Amino acid sequence: MAQVERPLSPHLQVYKPQLTSVLSILHRITGVGLGVGTLLLAWWLVSAAYGPDHFEVSQAFIASWFGRLLLFGFTYSLFYHLCNGIRHLFWDAGWGFELKAAYSSGWLVVIASIGLTVASWIAGYASGGAL
């Protein structure tokens, strides 16, 4: 009898995405976003040290629509990673594992990270910090 090829372990194709799995994947994606954003920030700071010509190039890139999109993504990544990290601290203490609590805290992380991102951009523009 021929042996049937079966997956060794069920993967993303088998399971229906749930809030907890989506938030876990998003946590990893925002971690990568923080790394990319940190490189962008380092480039901006180093260009300032190299002089006005170099700084003008980096400032023009960051002020472009694509640069602002990257900055917005970096800001969201920062706040999402922060909020979800706080959620994980509660889990480390043994709190919030019940299904209802896990979903409530998950939605709270999503709402808080969006709210904090938008609020920080509004505050930045209101303070005259427009690029």
Residue 63 tokens read as: 């002020």
The CATH number linked to 71 is 1.20.1300.10
Q: Determine the pLDDT at residue 12.
A: 65
Query: How many domains are contained in the chain?
Result: 1
Domain assignment present for 47: yes
Q: Is residue 121 part of a domain?
A: yes
- Residue 9 placed within a domain: no
Mind listing the pLDDT tens digit of every residue in the chain (131 residues)? 667 776 666 676 777 889 999 999 999 999 999 999 999 999 999 999 999 999 999 999 999 999 999 999 999 999 999 999 999 999 999 999 999 999 999 999 999 999 999 999 999 999 987 66
Question: Does residue 116 lie in a domain region?
Answer: yes
pLDDT at 14: 74
The string of DSSP letters for 19-43 reads HHHHHHHHHHHHHHHHHHHHHHHHH
- With H, G, I as helix, E, B as strand and everything else as coil, classify residue 12: coil
Asked if residue 4 is part of any domain, the answer here is no
- Is position 51 within any domain? yes
Q: What is the pTM of this model?
A: 0.86
Q: What are the C-alpha distances in Å from 88 to residues 24, 25, 72?
A: 11, 14, 24
In a domain, 13, yes or no: no
Contact between 72 and 121 (Cβ < 8 Å)? yes
Answer whether 114's CB lies under 8 Å from 73's CB. no
Q: HSE of 76 in the Cβ direction (CA atoms, 13 Å)?
A: 15
Containing structural domain, residue 122: 19-126
The whole-number pLDDT of residue 130 equals 63
95 within a domain of the structure (yes/no): yes
